[in-house]
Amino acid sequence: MSQQFEAKRDTLRSKMSVRNYYAHMGISPALWELADKVLKNLRERFEAIDEIAQVNQLKVLHAMQKNRISAEHFNGSTGYGYNDAGRDDLEKVYADVFHTEDALVRSQITCGTHALSLALAANLRPGDEMVSVSGKPYDTLEEVIGIRPSRGSLAEYGITYRQVELKEDGSFDFDAIRSSLGPKTRIAAIQRSKGYLTRPSLSVDEIGEVIHMIKTIRPDIIVMVDNCYGEFVDTVEPSDYGADMTVGSLIKNPGGGLAPMGGYIAGTRECVENCAVRLTSPGLGREVGASLQINRSFYQGLFLAPTVTAGALKGAIFAAALFERFGYHCIPDARSPRNDIIQAIEFKTPQGLRAFCEGIQAAAPVDSYVTPEPWAMPGYDSDVIMAAGAFIQGSSIELSADGPLHEPYAAYFQGGLTWEHARFGILKAAQRLADKGIIQIGRE
């Protein structure tokens, strides 16, 4: 080998090292060094996440093989959508993944809120009562239920609502739950992820224990779990503990980043059938609903979902570990077990929150050149800043961050279609804080 070539090769290889490429993308060597140190400490955590992803990958694979998924399943339907094997067998695959009798997985379910609203409205009747046993539900459900008066809410149909707060430490209040179950109680709702609250997210085992208690004393009560952001974070899902309906959005974990829309409800035959007739129409139910060309992305997204979720989890843990070094309060902290893919970081100042979101935006594959600005959002009492450079509008399995501009100026960070992207985005955000003089790297 000529000396000249050797020199050329070494220059090229050095230029393309991770460290230098990070520098090329605007990350200072000091930050890179620090991040590298933080990452080395996370190795065991990451291995455990890979093991969970492995189980979930096999779970999905098994469900697809069992249902003999073939190329024909990717042919869509139009019009009424009768005899759409791709659509119908996808629902069998979901039922097998969640170990339920049945599932409804549809592009006509427009988002997570819609899926939850559908599950509730389809299974409640006038005079029934719904109890949230995990405290205040996700913001958008307040209007669904009618906690905030709203056109078309369950309250307008004579369905009443009760709420049992979580205990101070974020755990279920078993005694209060037991005494909240009355003769009218028809649905008990549980939310796995904290959403935009700073309570801890609930583990599947904790949820399982509540389901067990409710079913022991009142087997007639339908238990619904809002599973948003929780799918594939663990090897076990709430449905494995007997939840009658496990509900979520396809532009979060189970869509694997490929589903461009949609929602799912996995559960008992009875509950899912009620959802089907409510989604379309009595008498028609699940027989209709053209899938157009969407089946392939639903299947392929589900197939990728375990690894995509694992990458997002690694990103969340890495973000907590790094930002704790800079003295920020992270929820959950870097050492806690994970029950969803959301990471909250309290910046304490609007400048910090803004810089973080700007960094996440600047790291995006799409719209990286725009600067996110706080703006007023319906349902929020202060401006909200959002960073999202996503392939799918609003997709929060893709790397994204948002936060309301009020105390404690917390950024809610989630997603990342690949761990490599999440890793870079987190460093880009930290670099932005450093560039603005909000943090000092090397002095943490």
Ligand X SMILES: *Cc1c(COP(=O)(O)O)cnc(C)c1O
Nearer to ligand X, 264 or 347 (CB): 264
**DSSP string across 374-430:** -B--TT-SS-EEEEE--SSTT-SSSSEEEEESSTT-EEEEE--SSHHHHHHHHHHHH
Across-strand partners of 106?
263
- Count residues near ligand X (CB under 6 A): 12
**DSSP string across 39-90:** HHTTHHHHHHHHHHHHHHHHHHHHHHHHTT--GGGG----TT-TT-HHHHHH
Nearer to ligand X, 195 or 425 (CB): 195
If one asks whether residue 113 binds ligand X (CB under 6 A), the answer comes out as yes
Nearer to ligand X, 35 or 145 (CB): 145
If one asks whether residue 111 binds ligand X (CB under 6 A), the answer comes out as yes
Nearer to ligand X, 224 or 320 (CB): 224
**Using CB under 6 A, which of the segments 29-37, 105-113, 233-241, 417-425 binds ligand X?**
105-113
Least CB distance to ligand X at residue 304 (A): 19
Nearer to ligand X, 128 or 226 (CB): 226
If one asks whether residue 343 binds ligand X (CB under 6 A), the answer comes out as no
Range 197-226, binding ligand X (CB under 6 A):
226
Nearer to ligand X, 193 or 297 (CB): 193
If one asks whether residue 228 binds ligand X (CB under 6 A), the answer comes out as yes
Range 242-301, binding ligand X (CB under 6 A):
249
Per-residue contact string for residues 122-141; x = within reach of ligand X by CB under 6 A: ----------------x-x-
Q: Are 357 and 411 in contact (CB under 8 A)?
A: yes
Burial bucket for residue 373 (CB in 10 Å: 0-12, 13-18, 19+):
exposed
**DSSP string across 218-229:** -TTSEEEEE-TT
Range 162-201, binding ligand X (CB under 6 A):
191, 193, 195
If one asks whether residue 229 binds ligand X (CB under 6 A), the answer comes out as yes
Least CB distance to ligand X at residue 395 (A): 10
If one asks whether residue 390 binds ligand X (CB under 6 A), the answer comes out as no
**Cβ count near 440 (within 10 Å):** 11
What helix, strand, coil percent values describe the chain, rounded to 5? 45, 15, 45
Point out the residue whose Cβ comes nearest to ligand X.
Answer: 112
437: left (phi over 0), alpha (psi -120 to 50) or beta: left
State how far Cα 386 lies from the chain centre: 16
Which residue ranges make up the site for ligand X (CB under 6 A)? 111-113, 138, 140, 191, 193, 195, 226, 228-229, 249
